[in-house]
Amino acid sequence: MNIRKILNNSLILAEDENKKEIIVMGKGLGFNSKVGDVLEKEKIEKIFVLKNETTMKEYVRLIEQTPSEYVEITNYIINYANRNLGKKLSDQLFITLIDHISYAIERYKKNITIQNRLIWEVKKFYPKEFEIGIYSVKYINEKLNIELLEEEAANIAFHIVNAQTDEGEMQNTLLTVKLLKAIFNIVQYNLGIKIDKDSINYSRFLTHLQFFIQRLLDGKIIESRDSFIFNQITKEYPVEFKCAKLIEEYIKNALDKEISYEELLYLTIHIVRINQK
């Protein structure tokens, strides 16, 4: 692995054994190094492989223009998120997050505010990630003596949510939040209830919906297995089944996707629990 370009003391543009450009991270990695040197593997902490050459060039340019302090802040936030979520986040999070943090600070300095209209939905549907976002904003503000708004916590939370998926695509996360919001509104409006967000049934329904939406987006819908149970549930709980059918209609209109009887069955069962007085 040879050094192609030193970006800063912690990040280096290198070439792997397949002659592919990669970004390599390690504390003090760029110190006393020069172009052409072979990297010592034990000093490497992370390797970032980007999808195409254009993206690589854009991020190399970004990192070259980014103060080293931002690099340290981003790495600290990611390590904090890893510890508090108890899971390993995608290494790509560093690239996307440093990009976002740099842009957020630039907007702040130019007094430009961009509203995040989904901040309340992020709080509701991704509370752990949002808390990490809140902590991150406070940390950034203290380290740089600035005053980023709470809305940035939701933006950081989005990146952390994405880093827990295989693809890590922001577009899918935004779509998921919008779908969740719409489905909860359908349930509350049609059942005439206000869902208790502190209840275990809410937590179960939310988890089910998150996986349900992921299956929809991945094209991995559960197929029907037991028509007898389905028929029994629909007869016993006609109000909740009607609500599930409205969700089915919404999914059809929003995503042009059909859902199976099995998915309808699970939706109905969760709606029954939500509707329990």
Do the domain assignments include residue 222? yes
Residue 25 bridge partners (DSSP): 11, 46
Is residue 139 predicted with pLDDT exceeding 90? yes
Selected residue with higher pLDDT from 171 and 11: 11
Total tally of structural domains belonging to the chain: 3
Higher pLDDT, 118 or 13: 13
- Predicted confidence (pLDDT) per residue in 213-258, tens digit: 878 887 877 665 557 777 888 889 999 999 999 999 999 999 999 8
Residues 46 and 126 reside in one and the same domain: no
- pTM, entire model: 0.66
Q: Report the pLDDT value the prediction gives residue 51, as an integer from 0 to 100.
A: 62
Task: Clarify whether residues 79 and 122 are in a common domain.
Answer: yes
- pLDDT for 239 equals 94
- Name the token pair of 43: 């000093």
Q: Say if residues 233 and 268 touch (Cβ distance below 8 Å).
A: yes
- Let me know whether 152 and 175 are in one domain: no
Q: Which among 162, 189, 209 is the end of a domain?
A: 162
The chain-wide mean pLDDT, for the chain, equals: 84
Establish if 39 belongs to a structural domain: yes
pLDDT of res. 168 = 46
| pLDDT at residue 83, rounded to an integer | 94
- DSSP reduced 3-state for 2: strand
Q: Which residue has the tokens 């509370």?
A: 127
> In this predicted model, what pLDDT tens digit does every residue of 65-78 receive, in sequence order?
888 899 889 999 99
Q: Which residue has the tokens 């709980």?
A: 237
Burial of residue 167 (number of CB atoms within 10 Å: 0-12, 13-18, 19+): exposed
Average pLDDT of the segment spanning 52-60: 69
The verdict on 96 and 42 lying in the same domain is no
Per-residue pLDDT tens digits for 165-189: 655 466 777 888 899 999 999 999 9
Using a pLDDT cut of 70, give the percent of the chain over it. 92
What CA–CA distance (Å, rounded) separates 175 from 170? Answer: 9
Residues 174 and 194 in one domain: yes
Range of the domain at 176: 170-274
Burial class (CB in 10 A: 0-12, 13-18, 19+), 150: middle
pLDDT digits (tens, 9 = 90+) for 140-154: 999 999 999 988 998
Give pLDDT tens digits for 84-97: 998 888 877 888 89
What is the three-class DSSP state of 4? strand
